[in-house]
Chains A and B, each alone.
Chain A
Amino acid sequence: MVLEDQVEGEYLVVCLRERRLDAVIAAGFREAMLERIELGQHKIVLDLSSVGFLDSSGLGAVVAVLKHLGQRGCLYLCGVTPAVMAVLRLTRMDRVFRTFPTRAAALAA
């Protein structure tokens, strides 16, 4: 699994360079993201522009990251593809996450 980090002001932008965020990588993704939070990164933009497939395990991992952050910070999603947005809508998680078309839009929020 490839995660690319970039610090943009007070935000950490994490880009998941995988076609699929699914049960195969969900646990590793979750642990890697929680590690970043424990290191003090509490404002995170997750760039999903490479991800064309999301299942409930992958979604659960993203939810777990949000829950771990709690009131300490924020988690924005950007570059959400139509396939990923369809799963967010089906599960009503589109009402939970703030999504942005681009990384720049998320950073300007």
Chain B
Amino acid sequence: MADDAILKLLVPATLPAARDATERLMALGQRFDEINRALYETAVMEWLVNIVKHSYVPADGGSIRLVAQAGPQELHLVIEDRGRGLSAKQFEAAASQIHFDPQVIADLPDSGMGLAILKSVMDSLLYEQQQGINRLIAVKRWSG
């Protein structure tokens, strides 16, 4: 994939569409190594699932817009939706590190890990709400 290759997608806010979008997006992720490609795909899926489950009221017919650009050093991704979104405070809280004691099975988290994964994987993450649009700008370098 050449530098500056761009992929633009407008997909319905459903789980199958989120899965399909992440798979299509990875056409631009060929320059990641195997592990970073897997983690990147997981991170993007986390945000899309978050939109589907929490930003839009179920079955209200919302959509998600993705614009990805492969640059010489990094993959730049913008994801937008017009649902309720998260406040900046909610975003920061949800994206905090996952804490648990591996020895205490009853207390292990079985939800709420998605945004922490997103934050851990991306090199740069910006979330903003403007004029009814929730926008995530995520950057990940090809290496490092």
Whole-angstrom distance between the Cβ of B24 and the nearest chain A Cβ: 14
A86 within 8 A of partner (CB): yes
Selected contact of A53 from candidates B42, B53, B102, CB within 8 Å: B42
Number of residues from B at the complex interface, CB < 8 A: 31
Q: How far is the CA of A93 from the CA of B99 in the complex (A)?
A: 11
**Residue contact B106 to A56, C-beta cutoff 8 Å:** no
User: 0/1 per residue, A54-92, Cβ < 8 Å to B?
Assistant: 111101110110110010000000000011101100111
Interfacial chain B residues near A92, Cβ < 8 Å? 98, 100, 102
**Residue contact A67 to B108, C-beta cutoff 8 Å:** yes
**Residue contact B35 to A86, C-beta cutoff 8 Å:** yes
Interfacial chain A residues near B68, Cβ < 8 Å? none
Q: How far is the CA of A8 from the CA of B73 in the complex (A)?
A: 50
Whole-angstrom distance between the Cβ of A14 and the nearest chain B Cβ: 18
B39 within 8 A of partner (CB): yes
Give me the interface of A with B, judged by CB distance under 8 Å. 20, 22-24, 52-57, 59-61, 63-64, 66-67, 70, 82-84, 86-87, 90-93, 95-96
